[in-house]
A and B are shown apart, each in its own frame.
Chain A
Amino acid sequence: MMAGFMTLFAALTAVALAVPDPTEAQERGPLRIEITEGVIEPMPVAVPDFVAQGGAAREWASRIARVVADDLAGTGLFREIPSEAFISPITSFSSPVQFADWKAINAQALISGAVGMEGDGKLVVKFRLYDVFAGQELGDGLRFSGTTEGWRRMAHKVADAVYSRITGEGPYFDSRVAFVAETGPKDARRKRLAIMDYDGANVQYLTDGNSIVLAPRFSPDGQSVLFTSYRSGFPRIYLLNTNSLQLRALEEQPGSMSFAPRFAPDGRTVVYSMTRGGNTDIYTLNIDTGQTRRLTSSPSIETAPSFSPDGNRIVFESDRSGSQQLYVMPVAGGVPERISFGQGRYGTPVWSPRGDLVAFTKQSKGRFHIGVMRLDGSEERLLTASFLDEGPTWSPNGRVIMFTRETQGAGGQASLYSVDITGRNLKRVRTDTGASDPSWSPLLK
């Protein structure tokens, strides 16, 4: 009995002495550190001219590479390394990349591409993306084919693929913007409906400028544009097919004014404001059947409605509380819930395509701002400040906001600006004329 007890005691003592200290066990593993701080700066990227595969493609090789580089640098997330710094130019699409030469100029990403012409006259663009410091290709290379007229779209698609692969954001370069082109003095300004590539290229005018047009809004399929026109003497909503230029008046009720239209995600329903008997409320209209439905009935002014991406809710502005604020209500009906509570007046809310944010115009302390907030009103952040900023519209991926900025004075001019939702990369969008009321299309098919 005693001997058994002593044996057990000896065994327990041996175990107690032999079990390793937990900290010692920790030291046996790899060294562990945690990185919580970093830097935020544009990533240096090299975009050498694409290799022309055949003499006919030489014309496009350099131009496509320039558009790709401009797209990437225009986001503010990338910085193009000038070609003068290149050590070894890429002369063949299939030859191995000399990573050491690109590391030496601190290129963190490299885009190698080639352009060729097929027998039927179609342009073929292919590219590969490399992580220079890891010395390996990122993802699989892609190949696009199209007409020579569509060379800019192919360049945008290359840039979209690179942008999405590196950042993880959705693409947005291959998209268009509808806007109001403005010419002439302020008291006799000519306003025409126009569409252009997202970067200001390929402008097409859709109306002649004989009547005032306002607030164009793209349909979810990007084929049509809703807008408000004074062609009948009063504001009315029209639907314009951007391909056939076929025009259709949507809502004509005597003694009323309709404005601020916007499509629902289904593309068949339009939400808009109508003023009747001095009261402005929000309505929906079925484009196919012409059936309308009144959503608000408050004696205050309700306007600027915008659908949520799932089509179940609407954000709008109202002065029912005494000052202009933002509200959210269910499409099926219900009590609107106020979401803006800051100082100043809030207007023109637009729901983000991601569904997580609302962009808005804010007037406070004599200045106008474009800002974003969450749907519960939290995390409000003002991105801009100027004499007059208004009318935000989201890029298809919900990362960039475009808006109208008007300068002060009798000679004040309206122009389009864009800004990243972080508040970085505020810049003017290149347009040949004055421009206002932008509406960003979905990504082109």
Chain B
Amino acid sequence: MNAGHYISGAGHLGLIGWLLWGANFAPASDPFEVSEVSVISAEEYAALTAPDTMPEASSQAVAPTPPDTSEEAPEIPAAPDEEPPDSTDPTVTRQDDPDQAPDVSGLRPPDPAQADDTSPEMGAAPAESATLAPENSERPTPRPAPRVAPEPVAPPESDSQVDEVRQEERVPDEGGETPAEPQEATAPEEAATEIVTEAEESPEVAPSASLRPRARPRGATAVANTNPPEENTETDADAINSALEEALGETRQTAAPQDAAPAGPPLSQGERDALRVAVQRCWNVGSLSSAALATTVIVGVSMERDGRPDVASVRLIGSDGGSDAAARQAFEAARRAIIRCGASGFDLPEEKYDRWQDIEMTFNPENMRIK
């Protein structure tokens, strides 16, 4: 073997060896990156983390630099001859005086709107469709009014007379064949749904509670009767006996006329609700004591066929929740309501007179007590 073979063999072995293990001797990459930083002080670090802590009040106030104004400063009026505030004043956050007139110097009236006398064309009414009510409605702002009623009432027109019912003004038509009676416009007095105190009126004080849902119409609540009516005293035994007698063909000789079944269909729910609404419009509990406002009374009344109550028949049937004196005041308020609002006759169907010739009204002031 000559030297060329040795050299060639050594060269190939070297090449194979480099291919096999040469990569292991390559320089390893840096395990982390290095960037330039600057050293900061503890105060600067505290300033960076300041949002997590309360700011410390500085004892040295720095006067703010007045803004650069190119315009000439306005003339300052002479200071009023007022004494400095008394140091004995209570330490409270002073509010702007609500009675002070607001500064309106910067306001100017809006440009007059371009009014067009032509009425807009109304499109076809959209088809009835269900809509989802928002989950959270805006809380109504209580509005103070001297009168509290089940439904809020806007202030009446200035030329309207205050009355329980709203009526349009009617002028007799001179040319008509049957001139109608003239009628002045009437409207109910302004009313809120609950008493609003001065503290609740304040704009910065949010109402502490949402409006209470209105009570659903319910049947008469059973309360303890101090003087139960005679027609309700019939016992079950009496009813069974009378039914048995009737079934066996015997007739009762002492049937009271009020026990006879009333003629005509019963009053519809709408007719009953209309009567209820008519009475509650006149049920004024504003002048009752706290004790009377905690007393439920049942008042009986016999009705004339024209829908007017028989004033002499208004009577206290029972009461619950208060003393005799409180029941008397509550009854008198209820009596006034029935007589006043029934003076021109309640709107009741005459053909069902037998159904409503005797009425028992339960006046329950629970909802009114918490207004």
Contacts and interface: CB of A to CB of B under 8 A. Distances in A.
B218 A39 contact: no
14 contacts: A27-B262, A35-B279, A35-B337, A38-B284, A38-B363, A41-B148, A43-B286, A168-B289, A185-B83, A385-B199, A386-B198, A387-B92, A423-B198, A423-B199
B362 interface: yes
B280 A38 contact: yes
A85 interface: no
A366 B84 contact: no
Interface string B313-351: 010000000000110110010111101100100000000
B289 A387 contact: no
Interface string A400-436: 0000000011111000000100111010000000000
A410 B95 contact: no
Interface stretch (B32-40, B60-68, B115-123, B239-247): B239-247
B248 A14 contact: yes
B220 A18 contact: no
A228 interface: no
A28 B332 CA distance: 28
Contacts of B78: none
What bracket does the count of chain A residues touching chain B fall in? 35 or more
Nearest to A23: B266
6 closest A-B pairs by beta carbon, nearest first, are A423-B197, A366-B93, A18-B243, A38-B283, A168-B289, A382-B199
Interface residues of B, number: 99
Contacts of B97: 387, 408
A31 B368 contact: no
A78 interface: yes
Interface of B: 82-86, 89-90, 92-95, 97, 146-150, 189, 191, 195-202, 204-205, 214-215, 217-221, 229, 231-232, 239-240, 243-244, 246-248, 258-262, 266-267, 272, 275-276, 279-292, 300, 311, 314, 325-326, 328-329, 332, 334-337, 339-340, 343, 355-356, 358-368, 371
B197 A134 contact: no
A34 to B, nearest CB: 4
Contact of B92 (A39, A167, A368): A368
Given A20-B239, A133-B340, A31 B355 contact: yes
A381 B280 CA distance: 27
Contacts of A59: none
Nearest to A139: B328
A38 B84 contact: no
A255 interface: no
A79 to B, nearest CB: 9
A28 B262 contact: yes
B359 A34 contact: no
Contacts of B214: 37
Interface string A270-281: 000000000000
Contact of B291 (A18, A37, A168, A408): A168
Contact of A371 (B199, B201, B247, B276): B199
**Chain B CB within 10 Å, residue with most, of A18, A39, A169:** A39
B82 A134 contact: no
Contacts, number: 248
Contacts of B283: 35, 37-39
B280 A37 contact: yes
Contacts of B275: 33
B305 to A, nearest CB: 14
A83 B124 CA distance: 57
Given A108-B340, A168-B326, A38 B368 contact: yes
A27 B263 CA distance: 10
Contacts of A246: none
Given A41-B189, A135-B311, A169-B289, A384 B199 contact: yes
Interface in A17-48: 17-20, 24-25, 27-43
B46 to A, nearest CB: 30
B287 A42 contact: yes
A39 B86 contact: no
A30 B300 CA distance: 9
Contact of B364 (A34, A187, A365): A34
A33 B272 contact: yes
Contacts of A156: none
Interface of A: 11, 14-15, 17-20, 24-25, 27-43, 77-78, 103, 108, 131, 133-135, 138, 166-169, 185-187, 363, 365-369, 371, 381-388, 399, 408-412, 419, 422-424, 426
B129 to A, nearest CB: 33
Contacts of B334: 35
B364 A35 contact: yes
**Chain B CB within 10 Å, residue with most, of A38, A133, A138, A185:** A38
A409 B85 contact: yes
Contacts of A419: 198
Nearest to A15: B244
A64 to B, nearest CB: 22
A31 B195 contact: no
B232 A168 contact: no
Given A27-B262, A31-B356, A408-B97, A40 B284 contact: yes
Contacts of B359: 30-33
Contacts of B326: 168
A37 B368 CA distance: 7
A294 to B, nearest CB: 29
A19 B248 contact: no
Contact of A422 (B89, B195, B232, B246): B195
Contact of A35 (B239, B286, B362): B362
B114 to A, nearest CB: 44
A77 to B, nearest CB: 4
Given A18-B246, A37-B368, A385-B201, A30 B280 contact: no
A74 to B, nearest CB: 13
A37 B360 contact: no
A426 B201 CA distance: 13
Given A34-B364, A40-B147, A426 B221 contact: no
